[in-house]
A and B are shown apart, each in its own frame.
Chain A
Amino acid sequence: MTDDTLLSIRDYNIVYETERPVHAVRDVNLKLQRGEILGLAGESGCGKTTLAYGINRLLRPPAVIRTGSAILHDKGGYDIDINALKVKELREYRWDKVSMVFQGAMNALNPVISIEKQLGDIFSTHRPQMSKADRREESAGLLDLIGVGRDRLRSFPHELSGGMRQRVMIAMALALKPQLMIMDEPTTALDVLVQRDILQEISELRSQFGFSVIFITHDLPLLLEISDRIAVMLQGEIVELGTAERIFRRPDHVYTERLLQSFPSLTGERGGFIRSGNDETRTKDEAIV
């Protein structure tokens, strides 16, 4: 492994301190490379989102980070110990270094203020030196970039379709050119066509801006397409971590195998979960769907 690590997570444990404590994240060790798309797969309730929230210190009680450390190796050459950030430092760290795209495309935007204000909020908080005109221009540019178009700047969330809202979320996540973007099931509520467009967009933006992505989903075949590496989580533990191709061809863990088999193919064969026809790693008869 080269020493171009962006994020090192060590012995990470998150517990929901309820009457019967739930150990949601167990001894997670993870190194994320700069510019890498890491897929985080697993069934519902396995701790994927909890881990992601932990990286952004967004956990609310009763969830507590019990032990472990998460360190962001900033491109400026210094390290940020995320767990040690004070309230104000934490606010400055959030979105500037790590941004998030949330699960519910429908509810992640504030319904009563315009897109312009929601984008502008980011700049006025993190880049107070920017003028109003600058903020506006930057926001408009982001909407153009993401394919929503600057004429939507004054729209309210209810005036946009689900796909557009999720694009606006991605535009917001891009606003400060963060080094890491966490995407928590960003396409779950969308239909496959919009899903494909958005995934393509993310890949292109990644190569354009060079940020890393932690992509969380329960949809393993989707991860196989877009990720460089995939981590499979089961009951709070990362049970398998490897390149997408290795996971696809030779899954080590029984659970990974079961996860792969759980997606039926269109031809009815179990385990033949192919979605796109342009993957040359597969054999001919598998590839035709």
Chain B
Amino acid sequence: MRYIARKLGFYAVALWGALTVNFLLPRMLPGNPVDILVAKLSARGPVTDELRDSLELLLGGAPDQGILEQYWVYLVGIFTGNLGISITYYPVPVVEIIGQALPWTLVMIGIGTLLAFIVGVALGMLAGWKRGSWLDNLVPVTTMFQAVPYFWLALVLLYILSVGLGAFPVSGGYNYNVAQPGFTWDFVGTAIYHGTLPALTIVISSFGGWLLGMRNMMVSTLSEDYIVTAEAKGLRPMRIMTAYAARNAVLPSVAGFAISLGFVVSGSIVTEQVFSYPGIGSTLLQAVNNSDYALMQGLFLVITLAVLGANLIVDLLYGVIDPRTRANG
């Protein structure tokens, strides 16, 4: 229990630090969102000073506010769910945009990353357990998939499987003609159909790393004394492989998984671009292209929360699978 409390305390401090950096960074950037919006609007007609003033008020960039006051307003805004208004999708609030984009990324990229980890670790376990068998040939093959640039691999798969064979859709997150977003079977079906190929590319391009790491850890774990003990105890090979060898060998991979989970949200830019997938990545790209600071700040906040959240989960999980980390709690 104390272990968990200490972890939570640590994460609270980390969150505060991240929020503060998130607040300061955009304010150190050159350029002014009001100017950009004014420039945009002036394409359609003249912009009066009154309009400019009201835009400033709307975007929260009151120039007579001190930095500390702004900081306070920012913190209050975060905890009341007010992240400002996007200028790309003016006048939709940032929270709403993120709320629409996040589930796509979380589910598709999340499942892809999780599958890559599970497949890689499972195959790595077997390859390490039966060292020198045909499974070892997987290592160079999967490393090659990891070595080719991801966008290229994704494009090739898209070209062959979607354009060539027509097995998967070419773009989008779901089929507008079949169903509208909602928890209906039709919608879930079309969402899975659209999400499979992007998720598959993530699995193919990244499971090699897990496989190699797990295999090598397995091989070194197998020479540990407790493995000989387990063998001498006459345990079944299955039991030795899972509870004695893999359980110990997987520990470094779990730590690595924490890091890669954090990149689920932010690392989705390329994937979502290639597959024209609606999600955090493509939204972020648009926000950057349009200098949409409110939206960017909101997205960075989400990314920060995702990294911290994923790490917290894995930290707690680590406590479960490795009793030694609980010891000095």
Residue positions of A touching B, CB distance < 8 A: 56, 58, 90-96, 99-100, 102-104, 107-114, 117, 121-122, 125-126, 156, 158-159, 169, 172
Contact = CB atoms under 8 A, between A and B. Distances in A.
Nearest to A94: B234
B233 A111 contact: no
A112 B321 contact: yes
A95 B232 contact: yes
A110 B234 contact: no
B225 interface: yes
17 contacts: A58-B228, A93-B234, A94-B232, A95-B232, A95-B234, A100-B229, A100-B232, A109-B229, A110-B243, A111-B248, A111-B322, A111-B323, A112-B248, A112-B322, A113-B243, A122-B235, A156-B324
Given A112-B321, A112-B323, A158-B324, A58 B226 contact: no
A173 to B, nearest CB: 9
B30 to A, nearest CB: 52
A125 B239 CA distance: 9
Interface in B221-275: 224-226, 228-236, 239, 243-244, 247-248, 251
A169 B229 CA distance: 9
B323 A108 contact: no
A103 B234 CA distance: 18
A201 to B, nearest CB: 19
B247 A102 contact: no
A117 to B, nearest CB: 8
B68 interface: no
**3 cross-chain pairs, A with B, having the tightest CB-CB distances, nearest first:** A94-B234, A107-B225, A156-B323
Interface in B310-329: 321-324, 327
Interface of B is mostly: helix
Nearest to B236: A125
Contacts of A109: 226, 229
A200 B309 CA distance: 54
Contacts of A158: 323-324, 327
B321 A94 contact: no
Contact of A110 (B248, B251, B327): B248
Nearest to A56: B232
B185 to A, nearest CB: 42
A99 B232 contact: yes
B247 A113 contact: yes
Contacts of A112: 247-248, 251, 321-324
A96 B230 CA distance: 13
B234 A111 contact: no
Contacts of B323: 111-112, 114, 156, 158
Contacts of A104: 225
Given A95-B232, A121-B235, 8 more contacts: A92-B234, A99-B233, A102-B232, A104-B225, A110-B248, A112-B321, A112-B322, A172-B233
A107 B244 CA distance: 12
Contacts of A108: 225-226, 228-229
Contact of A102 (B225, B243, B244): B225
Q: Which of B233, B239, B244, B324 has the most CB of A within 10 A?
A: B233
